């Protein structure tokens, strides 16, 4: 961490909102090689490919956090257009990836396609882009096969629909589990550090530290998490907390 070279950014990131659900698709690329990946390309394929083109990025991968259509709907088409690999989520979300077209019909979104990844992810796996390594945490609860992808040196995590600024993922879908989601957040995310910033599937960025203080679902004062952070939970009316799909 004290090595100067580690502070030189190697990767660039842009967030592109996709689908009417305003899902945050991230485009991450290497400044040097111009090779990049999409995290959760949910839809609007032309907008996504346009963004890649604008920055001169060659897409070499798609990384999926979970199988909901607003996150995975355009994955098959990105692979078709670029020949890239689709990696993730955990295999326990394949039943969702098999029903993207059905999910879309419920929202009136018809451009999503069912997809089978080239490789599933497991807890503890590593992803790589131009030598930069990303860790993988299996975080079930919103969906059974949800994964979070993070880069420790850059203090940045892609958390999909596990955690939001001031909220957590919905668990009222089939195979959702509220307690499992809370456990995933406190046991898999909090140990990554309070200064870890995160890009959620919807809405604004935040940090794990901020959520451990203020989040009306998972603040330390509510969950009893005994990690290193300090601070008390704000009294936010839970009914006011917005929850996303």
- For Zn ion, the closer of residues 103 and 186 by Cβ is 103
Least Å from the CB of residue 65 to Zn ion: 8
Query: Cα–Cα distance between 243 and 173 in angstroms, integer?
Result: 13
Question: Would you state the structure tokens that stand for residue 215, as one six-digit string?
Answer: 């989040």
Residue 125 contacts Zn ion per CB under 5 A: no
Q: What are the structure tokens assigned to 114, written together?
A: 């069912």
Q: What's the closest the beta carbon of residue 97 comes to Zn ion, in angstroms?
A: 12
Task: Compute the least distance from the CB of residue 142 to Zn ion, in Å.
Answer: 6
Q: Which of residues 210-239 bind Zn ion (CB under 5 A)?
A: none
Question: Strand, helix or coil at 28?
Answer: strand
Q: Which residue has the tokens 């668990």?
A: 171
Residue 67 CB, shortest distance to Zn ion, in Å, is: 8
Min dist CB 231 to Zn ion, Å, is: 28
Site for Zn ion in 131-170 (CB under 5 A): 161
Closest CA to 156 of 204, 207, 190, 122: 207
Report 80-119 residues binding Zn ion (CB under 5 A).
Answer: none
Q: How far is CA 115 from CA 7, 94, 242, 243, in A?
A: 37, 8, 29, 26
CA distance readout (Å), 40 to 60, 75, 222, 241: 14, 8, 30, 24
Which string of x and - marks every residue 4-43 that binds Zn ion (by CB under 5 A)? Answer: ----------------------------------------
- In whole angstroms, the minimum distance from the beta carbon of 40 to Zn ion comes to 8
Beta carbon nearer to Zn ion, 60 or 64 = 64
DSSP character at residue 119: B
Does residue 70 belong to the site contacting Zn ion (CB under 5 A)?
A: yes
Q: Nearer to Zn ion by C-beta: 167 or 213? A: 167
Site for Zn ion in 165-204 (CB under 5 A): 201
Looking at residue 4, what DSSP letter applies?
A: G
C-alpha span between 114 and 73 (Å, rounded): 7
What is the contact surface with Zn ion in residues (CB under 5 A)? 68, 70, 161, 201
């Amino acid at each position: 961490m004290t090595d100067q070279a580690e502070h030189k950014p190697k990767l660039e990131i842009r967030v592109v909102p996709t689908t009417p659900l305003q899902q945050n698709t991230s485009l991450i690329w290497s400044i040097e090689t111009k090779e990049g990946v999409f995290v959760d390309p949910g839809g609007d394929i032309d907008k996504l490919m346009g963004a890649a083109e604008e920055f001169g990025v060659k897409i070499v991968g798609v990384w999926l956090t979970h199988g909901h259509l607003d996150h995975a709907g355009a994955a098959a088409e990105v692979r078709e257009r670029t020949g890239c690999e689709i990696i993730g989520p955990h295999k326990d979300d394949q039943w969702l990836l098999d029903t993207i077209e059905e999910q879309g019909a419920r929202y009136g979104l018809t451009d999503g396609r069912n997809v089978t990844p080239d490789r599933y992810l497991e807890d503890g796996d590593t992803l790589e882009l131009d030598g930069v390594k990303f860790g993988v945490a299996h975080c079930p609860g919103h969906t059974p096969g949800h994964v979070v992808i993070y880069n420790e040196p850059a203090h940045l995590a892609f958390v999909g629909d596990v955690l939001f600024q001031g909220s957590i993922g919905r668990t009222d879908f089939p195979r959702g589990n509220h307690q499992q989601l809370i456990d995933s957040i406190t046991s898999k995310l909090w140990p990554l550090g309070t200064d870890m910033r995160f890009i959620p599937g919807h809405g604004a960025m935040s940090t794990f530290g901020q959520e451990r203080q203020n989040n009306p679902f998972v603040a330390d004062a509510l969950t009893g998490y005994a990690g290193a952070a300090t601070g008390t939970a704000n009294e936010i009316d839970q009914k006011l907390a917005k929850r996303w799909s």
